[in-house]
Structure 1
C-alpha cells in the first residue's frame, strides 16, 4: 500500500513541480538566424509587441544529441544559451537536486539536468560529449547538475559557449512567459509567431505537460489496482491467520469462558497476538514499502523523465491506519464467532 500511494503521489507531483517550480516560460519562438535581417527584425518586433507577455528574453536554442556510454539510442538535448544570464531564473529555476541551492550560469562550464547526468554517469567536473545537427562534436564541462523531471536540457552562458564551441552564439529564439498561462492562450501566441516569415517553430512548454498527463492518466488506474489488491491481501491474510488461530484454540477459549472471563477478555486473549503481529507488520512495511517505491521509481520512468523519489508522511499514515482498521474489522468478526462457540460441545470433543 505504501508503494501504491507513493507511486501515485510521485507521478502526480511531476507536473506541478516541473511547470510551477522549475519551468516558468511558456513559449520559445525560434526564428531562422540565416533569414534576411529585415525578416529577423520583423520577427523580433512582433515578439516584443505580443499582448499578454509578462517577461521575455533572447536566447540561442539548438537541439543537440548525446549518446551515453552503454546505450544504443542518442538522447535529444535542448541546449539553451541566454543572451543575458541576468534574471534568467524568471524563466527557468536552476537548483541542486540534493541541496536545493540555486545554481547560476558561469564561465566555468554548463549545467545539465539530473536525468542526463544519471544516464551518462557524470558528476560535476566531468565532460559531456554532444553532437550538433551539422555533425560537429564538442565536449562540455559540467559545472552543475540541476533538478528536472521531464526532458534533457543543457544551459550555459554566452562566454562559456564561445569557449566550448569556438564561436559566438547566433541568438535565434525568444523565450516568453505569459500572463495567461492557459493552453488556449499559449496556442494563440504560438500561432502568431509561426505565421511570421522568419519563423522556424514554436516550442510550447505545455506540449510535454500534455504528454505527461496522458501517461499519468493510464498509470493512475494501475496504481488504484495495486492499492486495492494490497488492501484486499492485507484483509485476507489477517482474517485467515486469526480464524486459524481461533479454530485451533477453541477448547482453550471454551475453558476460559467457562471460568467466567468477560467476552472482551476472551477476545483479547487471542486477538492480542494478532494486534502485536499487525503492528510489527506495519513497521516492517514502512521499510519494505520505502525500498520498493524507490526501486520502482528508478526503473519505471522512461529515459527522458524521472520521478520524485520523496514519500509523503500521509503515505505511511494512510497505509498504517488502513491495515489496523482491517485488523479491527477482523477482531469484530472473530468476537462474533467466539461468542457463538458451543462451550460444552467443544470441551467434550476429542483432540
Structure 2
C-alpha cells in the first residue's frame, strides 16, 4: 500500500511540477530577463551617413520608447582542457554601457545573486549563461575559447580551417548568469577591443535592441516592425513576441501530458488502495465479524481496517513527495534540448495539490470499504474456516 501511494504521489508531483518547471521559466525569460521587444540587425558595411539615418528613424519613431546599440556576433564556444563538445550558435553581445544594458534590456543576475554588469565594467572577463556552462563543464574563473563565425560565404575547407584558427580568442569566465533559452556571451566593448586580433572596426555597432512603449498591443508592434524591417539599412528584424509564441505553441502538448499523468496517478491510487484493502478485509473477515457481533458500530469496525490504511497513506505521501522531486529533476534534464534549460522545482501549490488528491482517493476508497463491511454476512464469516 505504501509503495502504491508513494508511486501515485510521485507521479502527481512530476506531472504538476512539469507544468511549473516549463511555464515558470517562460515568464522569467520573457518578462524578467529579456526586457526588450525586438532586435534590429544592420546591413554590413553601412556608411556613417546610413548609420545615422537609421538611428534617426528609430529615435523619431513614436512607438519606440528606448533603444540600445551594441555589437553582436554568432560564435562557437569551447572549454579549455575539458572533454566537452563545443557549443554552437552562441550570441555574443558586446556592450558599451553594461549598467544601462543590464538595468533596462537584459537582466544579468549571477548565480550568487549579484549584478553581473559589475564584472563587465571592471573588464574581468565575459559572462556566460547557465546552460552553456553546464554543457562545457566550466565555472567562474575558467578559460573558454570563442570562435567568431564571420558571415563570409563560399570559403574553401582549407581556408576555412585557417580562418577559424585565426578567429579563435581566449577569454576568462567572470560570471555565470541566469538564462533559459538560447546561449549568450556578454562582454564589454573595452574588453573586446583589448583581445588579440580584434580590430576597432570589429566591434562597431551592428544591432539595436528596441523597447516599445508600455501598453502597446502585439498588432501595433507588428505594424511598426514592418516599417523598420523594410528599411534599406536593415538586414533582419526579430520580434521577441513571435519567438515566445513559437515556444508556447511547441509546448501546447504539455497540458495534455500533465492531465494524462494526473489521471494515471489517480487510477493507480484507486486500484492499489482498493485491491489491497479488499485483500486485507478478506483475510480478516472473522475478526471483523467478531467485532460486529460484540456490538461495535460500523464506523468503529471500519476504522480497524482504514486506520492502518491512513497511516500507510501518510507514509506513502511523504515518500512520494521526495521521490516526485527527484523524478522531476531527472525528467527535466532528460527532455531538455541543448539550447534550453527548464526549471528544476515544483511549486508549493503542486505539492499541496498532489497531497490533497492522494488523500481524496484514500478517503474515497475508505468509503467503499465501509460499504463492503456493512454488507458483510457475519454468520457466514464466523463459520468460515481460517
State TM-score, norm by structure 1.
Answer: 0.95
The equivalent residue for 1:228 is 263
Aligned 1:336-351 pairs, distance under 5 A: 336-351=371-386
- Tell me if structure 1 keeps the 8 A contact 2:74–2:92: yes
> Any stretches of 5+ residues in structure 2 without a counterpart?
1-11, 151-163
Which of the pair has the greater relative contact order for Cα pairs under 8 Å at 6+ separation?
Answer: 2
**Which residue, out of 171, 186, 189, partners 2:205?**
171
**Which residue, out of 100, 103, 128, partners 2:113?**
100
Does 230-239 or 161-170 show the bigger shift?
A: 161-170
The equivalent residue for 1:41 is 52
Instruction: Summarize deviations over 1:320-348 as a string: whole Å, max 9, x none.
Output: 11111111111100101101111011111
The equivalent residue for 2:126 is 110
Does 114-123 or 130-139 show the bigger shift?
A: 130-139
Does 36-45 or 66-75 show the bigger shift?
A: 66-75
Higher helix share: 2
Aligned partners of 1:249 and 1:224: how far apart in 2?
37
Q: CA deviation at 1:32?
A: 2.2
Aligned partners of 2:170 and 2:297: how far apart in 1?
80
Does 264-273 or 34-43 show the bigger shift?
A: 34-43
Aligned partners of 1:269 and 1:167: how far apart in 2?
83
Q: Secondary structure of 2:113's match?
A: coil
Q: CA deviation at 1:185?
A: 3.2
Q: Would you identify which runs of 4 or more consecutive aligned residues in structure 1 move more than 6 Å?
A: none
The equivalent residue for 1:209 is 244
- Tell me if structure 1 keeps the 8 A contact 2:77–2:145: yes
Does 322-331 or 199-208 show the bigger shift?
A: 199-208
Q: CA deviation at 1:182?
A: 3.9
Aligned partners of 1:94 and 1:159: how far apart in 2?
18
> Cα RMSD (Å) of the superposition?
1.7
> Any stretches of 5+ residues in structure 1 without a counterpart?
none
**Which residue, out of 70, 80, 85, partners 2:98?**
85
Aligned partners of 1:131 and 1:48: how far apart in 2?
34
Q: CA deviation at 1:65?
A: 2.0
The equivalent residue for 2:189 is 158
Instruction: Summarize deviations over 1:251-285 as a string: whole Å, max 9, x none.
Output: 11001100111111100001111110000000000
2:346 maps to 1:311? yes
